[in-house]
Amino acid sequence: MTVMSLMDVANLHVALAIKNCRYLELPYPDGATFGIIDPIRIDSNGMVAAGTRPGLGVSLDWDAIDLNTIFKL
């Protein structure tokens, strides 16, 4: 099953906001899901739905992100 990266999730929201948009292209199926706890999955029919959580609809793994952050303010 194909999963979407965080940038793909943002692009999904843009595509959903366009009235006549019928498809979403993914440049890299099974993209980089680093930092996402519950990535959005594309089903076996190629269909995808936006997440139901606030914001982009996915939960971020802040511990993993903080652990891999090089520059901190």
3-state secondary structure of 12: helix
Instruction: Render pLDDT for 17-60 as a digit per residue (tens, 0 to 9).
Output: 999 998 888 877 666 788 889 888 888 888 888 888 898 999 99
Residue 31 has a pLDDT of 63
Residue 29 has a pLDDT of 63
pTM: 0.77
For the chain, domain boundaries: 1-73
Neighbour tally for 57: CB within 10 Å = 15
User: How far apart are alpha carbons 24 and 39 in whole angstroms?
Assistant: 16
DSSP 22: -
